Amino acid sequence: MALDKDGNLFVFGSNSYGQLGIPGRTNKINVPQKVFLSKSAGKVTDFNCGEEHSALLDSNGNVHTWGLGIDGQLGHGNKNSVQMPT
């Protein structure tokens, strides 16, 4: 994951569990792809990623997590995998 100076988040690598937030892509992504958030989310101010999950903090102070949640690492209160929020 990489964040540019304008608050745009770019992702690349394995997307086998949806951890990159690119819907419909389950293979490896070798060229960085921009992650699109809803306008209400504002800009990305920080991010973090693990092997099979990702998280971001938006400019409104909201945390978004997605990817494989089997160990509860997404913080949603269950162990389901979650797609990137739009």
What are 30-63's pLDDT values in tens digits?
999 998 888 888 889 999 998 899 999 999 999 9
59 found inside a domain: yes
Mean pLDDT of the chain: 86
- The answer to whether position 79 is within a domain reads no
Q: How far is CA 75 from the centre of its chain?
A: 14
How many domains does the structure of the chain reveal? 1
Residue 85 within any structural domain of the chain: no
Is 84 contained in some domain? no
DSSP 55: E
pLDDT band for position 79 (cuts 50, 70, 90): confident
What's the domain range around 35?
2-67
Half-sphere exposure of 19 (CA within 13 A, CB side): 23
